A and B are shown apart, each in its own frame.
Chain A
């Protein structure tokens, strides 16, 4: 049987549950996850199988979202596309957190030369505006799922470093940290017991918002033809291909975009809700 949650965390969940827009975001995401899990059972078509007798068909009972230029069922491809987009988003965010959290903690807690060196590198990375950094990395690494994850993950790492450094910096100057040091608590233990737990709430909020942003960036790369290789169903790539047929078949470019839009909005809603729930003092207006 599951243990009851400690009071503080239970409070967070309760506040989150009461947050209407956050609940809506969570519901949209749950629907997408359920659809991708159930897809093989419910959807009769193969996402990648071309059928040249059914090319560019309008939405109908047999194909609710229509078919694309190769006669593939768009509903099936949009649903399978969620797998690809969610996978890229989660792994990219995991990568940037895996780099950003330790580097940020060390930079903020240690201070001194390490901090200055890290901040110079971060300044340098932030001199390339957001999407451009991911695009530049892709131009060096080449296309494909792994490289998209690496590019998007690396491009957002500076944001995490800045965020975590700020928290670590403010914790490091607290009196209780000084007290812990004075009684001889090892530095590693201070970081584990005091600094990291304080970094967790902002990192959770940031990661939720970043999941939407990462999916958006990956879709942008796909749209430019620099993301996941076809025929893998990926929303951005599908949209880019669909633009070619915009004048005759509006549905190909429309529905993958709706999917991206809903997903990103859901992560934004959930992220804003989490911020309110984790830190009630920050709630504005």
Chain B
């Protein structure tokens, strides 16, 4: 077996116990809240019969390990329980919101990567120029700005005053502009900073100097020699940004009344709808773990120099 496929297996093997642990944390979550777990899961408006039914389902009189085994076996069958508010299956509630959140996260990742890379390249190739300072100042603002405030300010300018774009809601392409920009801002800043420093480092490498010396034109040197080698740390940062992006999505969705997972989670927390909270947190954690795994594997694929023993 090649060392790469060995590495893939080992890395997947490491992700599985993490996912297993995530289910344990989510199982214990409800049981850490003082009070009767059946009452907490059923919700405040539930009838006594409902609570009794859930108590039987949970088997709260059984040992906690048995309860967890039940929770896990239901989970594997796609049964996340019923929402305490709507009484609809949690899986159905999540299914309705996956697409809006997925599209928002995807469009923001694309924008963040494209703009961040371009800004970083511009900054690095014109180090210490006014343009470089400008990009780095904007990037500093990008990492310091509260995502929800940025969203509100964009809304104020482009919706309230200019009437160019809708102030919220989900629909056509126009609805995507402000939420995507809002959510991408932080990642643009981080990717631009990383691209700049990573590129500046490769500029000092022998192969870049050689390429320049033998007369390769500047854009070709930057794109084919420097940027290609600077990509590895950039890929890592893009992957890491995905986590920040999921967190930011919760705030962005609330700002723009976006019918996604983040808003579902916030509403569920406000209503103390624990089955939904458990389901959404689980989905976020699984998606994040899988994306991290994919980034690690991509990393191994892109960088043939590294041996994964």
Interface residues of chain A, those whose CB is within 8 Å of chain B, are 120, 123-124, 127-132, 135-136, 138-140, 212, 216, 219-220, 223-226, 236, 239-240, 242-243, 246-247, 250, 253-254, 257, 260-261, 264-265, 268-269, 284-285
| B32 CB to nearest chain A CB (Å) | 6
Q: Could you say which residues of chain A place their CB within 8 Å of the CB of B265? A: 135
Chain B residues whose C-beta falls within 8 Å of the C-beta of A224 in the assembled complex: 250-251, 254, 266, 269
Question: In the assembled complex, which residues on chain B have CB atoms less than 8 Å from the CB atom of A284?
Answer: 197, 200
> Given known contacts A246-B156, A257-B146, A264-B146, what 17 new A-B pairs fall within 8 Å (CB)?
A127-B18, A127-B289, A128-B22, A129-B244, A129-B284, A129-B285, A130-B244, A140-B32, A224-B250, A224-B251, A224-B269, A225-B266, A226-B266, A236-B146, A253-B156, A257-B149, A285-B197
By a CB distance below 8 angstroms, the chain B residues around A253 are 149, 152, 156
Q: Pick the contact of B22 from A127, A130, A240, A246 — CB < 8 Å?
A: A127
Question: Can you list 29 A-B contacts with CB-CB less than 8 angstroms, sorted by A residue number?
Answer: A127-B21, A127-B285, A128-B281, A128-B284, A129-B244, A129-B246, A129-B284, A130-B244, A131-B250, A132-B246, A132-B281, A135-B265, A135-B266, A136-B29, A224-B251, A225-B270, A239-B149, A242-B152, A243-B255, A246-B152, A246-B155, A246-B156, A246-B160, A260-B146, A260-B149, A261-B141, A264-B145, A268-B140, A285-B127
Q: Which 8 interchain pairs have the tightest Cβ spacing?
A: A131-B247, A257-B149, A129-B243, A265-B144, A124-B21, A264-B144, A139-B269, A129-B246
Q: B residues within 8 Å of A by Cβ? A: 17-19, 21-22, 25, 29, 32-33, 127, 140-141, 143-149, 152-153, 155-156, 160, 167, 196-197, 200, 242-244, 246-248, 250-251, 254-255, 265-266, 269-270, 277, 281, 284-285, 288-289
The answer to whether A239 touches B251, judged by C-beta atoms less than 8 angstroms apart, is: no
- B residues within 8 A CB of A136? 29, 277, 281
Q: Which residues of B contact A264 (CB under 8 A)?
A: 144-146
Give the CA-CA distance A247 to B148 in the complex, in Å. 16
The complex places the Cα of A269 from the Cα of B250 at a distance, in Å, of 27
Q: Which residues of A contact B145 (CB under 8 A)?
A: 261, 264
Q: Assess A140 versus B146: contact at CB under 8 Å? Given A127-B285, A132-B246, A257-B153.
A: no
Given A223-B148, A253-B149: A130 in contact with B250 (beta carbons within 8 A): no
Give the CA-CA distance A123 to B148 in the complex, in Å: 28
A268 (CB) vs chain B CBs: closest residue: B144
| Residues on the B chain within 8 Å of A246, using CB | 152, 155-156, 160, 167
Which chain B residue lies CB-closest to A258? B149
What is the distance, in angstroms, from B262's C-beta to the closest C-beta of chain A? 9
CA distance A254 to B149 in the complex (A): 8
Kindly provide the distance from the CB of A143 to the nearest chain B CB, expressed in whole angstroms. 9
The answer on a CB contact under 8 Å between B281 and A124 is: no
In the complex, which residues of chain B have a beta carbon less than 8 angstroms from the beta carbon of A129? 242-244, 246-247, 284-285, 288
The answer for the CA separation of A139 and B197 in the assembled complex, in Å, is 39
Verify A127–B288 contact, CB threshold 8 A: yes
